[in-house]
Amino acid sequence: MSFTQSHLLGIEPLAPAEITAILDLAEHYVALNRREVKHAEALAGLTQINMFFESSTRTQASFEIAGQRLGADVMNMAMQASSIKKGETLIDTAMTLNAMHPDLLVVRHPQSGAVDLLAQKVNCAVLNAGDGRHEHPTQALLDALTIRRAKGRLHRLSIAICGDIAHSRVARSNIQLLGKMENRVRLVGPPTLMPARIGDFGVEVFEDMEEGLRDVDVVMMLRLQRERMDGGFVPSEREYYFRYGLDAEKLAVARDDAIVMHPGPMNRGVEIDGEIADDINRSVIREQVEMGVAVRMAAMDLLARNLRARTAEVMA
Ligand code: NCD
């Protein structure tokens, strides 16, 4: 099998064939999810624990649905009410859960690197549901599946990622994935929202939306991640919308068949015009949410297969 990982911590360690393996299996789950009866057995008998130390709507809901559809016993830890609030460290909490023999641990944490650290301490498969500004691999995979379905391929496309790149784990994972699959990635945004050492990313950088969006196949918008900013990175939301908010006029320089994406949550009138977001001819934002469930099913299925194979080896 081409997918050999024990965890899904980021896009960085994945080979192109592993990315393709997840997307191909996800296609199968897209079909299953459109049926009336949506149950499969890939995770039957396994226990999945979701630990979200940061708020989430789509990601948590879709991991939960994905696990349930594959037959896992799914438990959502209420992190607000957990012992973390009483001063227990992340590792102690993880070790406590580990003693309950989970098979899959889905973790979102505000600190970059926290999920990697946790994966070193537990015996089960760990999936990163977003760590600080580092990585959000299942988001990049669902974006990739959405692009592949809309464009018929996932290579030699020109993709603009726009807005608050500096604070975005979505951008980091997408830059990795789209680069590995041999696409041309452009980053568009004000210099204050560009990461340091941007030159190392193998991308083109634009400060102006009209230049950055010219002739691209895909426009990916990002939210201003104010919770990760200390101090003012943009003058005002009005000024930001004027220069960087995606509206019909700015989109007009992209290819006629360019698609518009957004990972959510969306701030209408800040980074994107509500009409563009709702335009069924351009926006694939709803498809992204649908693909999110399928991609998470595929990722958990593949990790569980590897988990079983390793357990069988140990038993032999
Ligand atoms: C993103 C995240 O949490 O990184 N949301 C998501 O998972 N769909 C993007 C964001 O918060 O803006």
pLDDT of residue 85: 66
CB atoms within 10 A of CB 222: 24
57 CA distance to ligand 1 middle (Å): 9
pTM of the model: 0.96
* Percent of the chain at pLDDT exceeding 90: 83
**How far is residue 142's CA from residue 102's CA, in Å, rounded to a whole number?**
25
Q: Which residues line ligand 1 (CB under 6 A)?
A: 58-59, 130, 136, 139, 169-170, 223, 225, 263-264
**Direct distance between the N- and C-terminal alpha carbons of the chain, in angstroms, rounded to an integer:** 20
- pLDDT tens-digit profile of 125-162? 999 999 999 999 999 999 999 999 999 999 999 999 99
Sorting pLDDT into bands at 50, 70 and 90, what band is 235?
A: confident
CB atoms within 10 A of CB 44: 12
The answer to whether 108 is a known catalytic residue is yes
For residues 21 and 1, the answer to whether their CB atoms sit within 8 Å is yes
pLDDT of residue 124: 96
* Ligand 1 atom 12: residue of nearest CA: 223
For residues 42 and 71, the answer to whether their CB atoms sit within 8 Å is yes
For residues 224 and 192, the answer to whether their CB atoms sit within 8 Å is no
Locus of tokens 């041999």: 182
**How far is residue 165's CA from residue 142's CA, in Å, rounded to a whole number?**
18
- pLDDT tens-digit profile of 242-301? 999 999 999 999 999 999 999 999 999 999 999 999 999 999 999 999 999 999 999 999
pLDDT of residue 221: 98
301 CA distance to ligand 1 middle (Å): 23
Mean pLDDT, all residues of the chain? 94
Query: What sign for the dihedral angle of Cα 143, 145, 147, 150?
Result: negative
pLDDT of residue 120: 93
* Percent of the chain at pLDDT exceeding 70: 97
Annotated active-site residue in 108, 223, 250, 296: 108
